[in-house]
Amino acid sequence: MFPKELFANRLKALLQDADISADQLASAAGISPDVLNRALSGQDAPSLDDFVAIAAYFQVPTAYLLNQPPFDAWEQALKRKTAVLEALARMLPFPAESLADLHLPAFLFVYNAAFRRAEYDPDRQTLTLYPSFSKGAPVTLS
């Protein structure tokens, strides 16, 4: 089942990050403004073509928009963004400061490339990130 409300929230975050309106996105991506507004309100899911056009416009992984791994614990990752950036900096040849300046689509791309799965433990309130490469040890963040 398509996560309509979650999709709407993530699409709003992308619009805000890009500093564009829904009408501008509709025009640029070739989507009906009515279809886009219904998707933004959580009423309807966009068609597959419109969904792909939105992901392509923002250059984001479709897994982010669908709440699939490693984005299924995304809200918890955002709450721990500084710690996630520090973990990424230890894993990748980039200083944490350069990662902190990434706009949302670029951060999503790096996160998706670095982690294959994320698990949130609500009892311990910890987020465990599993690196995409085989020798990477899981990173647990409080």
pLDDT tens sequence across 19-33: 999 999 999 999 999
Q: Considering only CA atoms, which of 125, 127, 121 is closest in space to residue 140?
A: 127
pLDDT in tens, 101-131: 888 898 899 899 999 999 999 999 999 999 9
**d(C-alpha 116, C-alpha 74), whole Å:** 13
pLDDT tens for residues 35-77?
Answer: 999 999 999 989 999 999 999 999 999 999 989 999 999 999 9
The structure tokens listed for 99 are 């990662």
Which class would CATH give 4-66?
mainly alpha
Q: Rounded to two decimals, what is the model's pTM?
A: 0.83
Which residue, 99, 25, 98, is CA-closest to 58? 25
Parts of the chain belonging to CATH 1.10.260.40: 4-66
